Amino acid sequence: MMRSLLVRGMLVGLAAAAVALAIAWIYGEPQVGHAIAFEESGAAGHAHHGAAAEHAEEAPVSRAAQRTIGLITAMGFYGVAVGGLFAIAFAFAYGRLGTLGARATSALVALAGFVAVVLVPFLKYPATPPAVGNPDTIGGRTALYFSMVALGVLATTAAVIVGRRLAPRLGVWNASVVSAVGFAVVLAVVFRLTPRPDAVADGFPATVLWDFRVASLGVQIALWATLGLLFGHLTERSLARRPSPEAVAA
Amino acid sequence: MAQSAVPSAQQSRPAPVRVPVREVVPWAVLAAVLGLVLIYFVGAEQGATSLFGGNWVHEFTHDGRHLLGFPCH
């Protein structure tokens, strides 16, 4: 059971990455191109201008390779990794969220995963195109970003557990509202207190920044939606084929 | 009484069979190790920390890193 769930998660993750890749090419790459053009035009009269020029001259990987094989590889690896972790989260959630079946559980786990891993960090440390962000602060920004991912996972898991505990006393609706409000309050406080080392270069076009961030969010939504819906569909179908508890326990 | 209550509850809507936690845990460890290594190389190698010399991993995963929301440079 677990082996097939994990393999299915990784393969569906790969399929989800393919859908996300299409979004990345159509909506994301043009913005990356605009940002790099800005970076190379030298309009960034900024501290990291030198680093940007160096970045352009010494590139060991061509832009064409970054756009194609590099992006495909990064998306594929990310999809497999997220798909595997998603399958584990599904195995913990399935049968433990009331009487929800495989499809509904899968969709909810994907929604929770998206909120925890993507939306929470995005709200405080959104994706940045090339030429945005000072290379000198990459260490601190990376630490803050991954801390925010960890916080998103912890806060979402806590909200689910608290909601399940409160459900028998308050009913499912009220318990969900209470835990969601608690989740929002905790994050609102953390967002207010954490530092913001983001540096947008002078003159960087605001529309490129906006469009890039919307594209980045779109890539992630495509990935998680495909993962949740396709994994649920395949798992429901495979469970229907062997409905006996013995087969599931094996 | 108790005997009649059990089948009627199952009839209405049975909760799906759970996978026991102790069965999930070893697979969870496997998926976590594999997943975190992959995410590290896609998202962070040769950025804030570096295991290999040069910056080819950074440059190769450059566009994915930006578009997936990781801090790149």
List CB contacts of A122: < 8 A, sequence separation 6 or more. A216, A217, A220, B69
Contacts of A87 in chain B (CB under 8 A): 31
Does residue A42 form part of some domain?
yes
In a domain, B11, yes or no: no
Q: Taking 80 as the threshold, does the pLDDT of residue B49 lie above it?
A: yes
**Phi, psi of A45, deg, nearest 5:** -75, 65
pTM for the predicted model, two decimal places: 0.88
Please say if the pLDDT value at position B9 is more than 50.
Answer: no
Select the residue of A71, A74, A138 nearest B47 (Cβ to Cβ): A138
A60 with B27: Cβ contact below 8 A:
no
Q: Which residue has the higher pLDDT, A202 or B32?
A: B32
User: How would you classify residue A133: left for phi > 0, otherwise alpha for psi between -120 and 50, otherwise beta?
Assistant: left
Domain count, chain A: 1
Predicted ipTM? 0.86
Q: Are A77 and B54 a contacting pair at CB < 8 A? A: no
The answer to whether the CB atoms of A143 and B48 lie below 8 A apart is yes
Residue A31 confidence (pLDDT): 95
For B15, name the nearest residue in chain A, comparing CA atoms only: A99
Residue B41 lies in a domain: yes
The stretch A50-59 carries a mean pLDDT of 51
The pLDDT, as a whole number, for residue A39 is: 87
Contact (CB, 8 A) for A79 and A16: yes
What is the pLDDT of chain A when averaged over all its residues? 90
pLDDT band at A47 (very low <50, low <70, confident <90, very high): very low
Inter-chain residue contact A99 with B14, CB threshold 8 Å = yes
Strand partners, A200: A132
Domains identified in chain B, total number: 1
Query: Could you count the other beta carbons within 10 Å of the beta carbon of residue A112?
Result: 20
Task: Give residue A26's domain range.
Answer: 2-130+202-249
Q: How far is A189 from chain B (nearest CA, A)?
A: 22
Tokens of A56: 């352009």
Q: For A82-136, how does the pLDDT look when each residue is reduced to its tens digit (9 = 90+)?
A: 999 999 999 999 999 888 999 999 999 999 999 999 999 999 999 999 988 888 8
| Residues of chain B contacting residue A55, judged by C-beta atoms under 8 Å apart | 73
Model confidence pLDDT, tens digit, residues A152-162: 999 999 999 99
**C-alpha–C-alpha distance, residues B27 and B29, integer Å:** 5
**A209-248: pLDDT as tens digits:** 999 999 999 999 999 999 999 999 999 999 988 755 554 4
User: Which residues from A are below 8 Å from B16, CB to CB?
Assistant: 94-95, 99-102, 105, 239
**Chain A contact set for B9 (CB, 8 A):** none
**Nearest residue of B to residue A55, measured between CA atoms:** B59
Indicate whether A179 belongs to any domain: no
Domain of residue B61, residue span: 33-73
Chosen from A1, A2, A67, A128 to mutate, greatest number of chain B CBs within 10 A? A2
Q: What sections of chain B are H helices per DSSP?
A: 2-12, 21-43, 56-60, 62-68
Residue A235 lies inside a defined structural domain of this protein: yes
A232 part of a folded domain: yes
A140 lies in a domain? Answer: no
% chain A with pLDDT above 90: 76
Comparison of pLDDT for B31 and B53, the residue scoring more: B31
Q: For residue A21, give the chain B residue with the closest CA.
A: B64
Give the pLDDT confidence score for residue A219 in this predicted structure. 98
**CA A137/CA A143 separation, integer angstroms:** 10
Place of tokens 């998306």: A75
B27 belongs to a structural domain:
no
Which of A96, A138, A248 lies nearest to residue B73, judging by beta carbons?
Answer: A138
- Provide the pLDDT for residue A102: 95
A118–B69 C-beta distance less than 8 A = yes
Q: Which residues of A touch B68 (CB under 8 A)?
A: 74-75, 78, 127, 216, 219-220
Compute the average pLDDT of residues B12-20.
Answer: 78
- How many Å apart are CA A140 and CA A171, to the nearest integer? 43
Nearest to A141 among B56, B64, B71 (CB): B71
- Provide the β-strand partners of residue A132: A200
Q: How does residue A55 score in pLDDT terms, banded at 50, 70 and 90?
A: low
Q: Which residue from B62, B41, B73 is spatially nearest to A33, judged by alpha carbons?
A: B62
- Is-contact B64 B41, C-beta < 8 A? no
Chain A positions in Cβ-Cβ contact with residue B39 (cut-off 8 Å): 77-78, 81-82
- Tell me whether residue B19 is in a domain: no
Determine whether the interchain pair B39/A78 forms a contact, defined as Cβ–Cβ distance below 8 Å.
yes
B51 within a domain of the structure (yes/no): yes
Q: Is residue B40 domain-resident?
A: yes
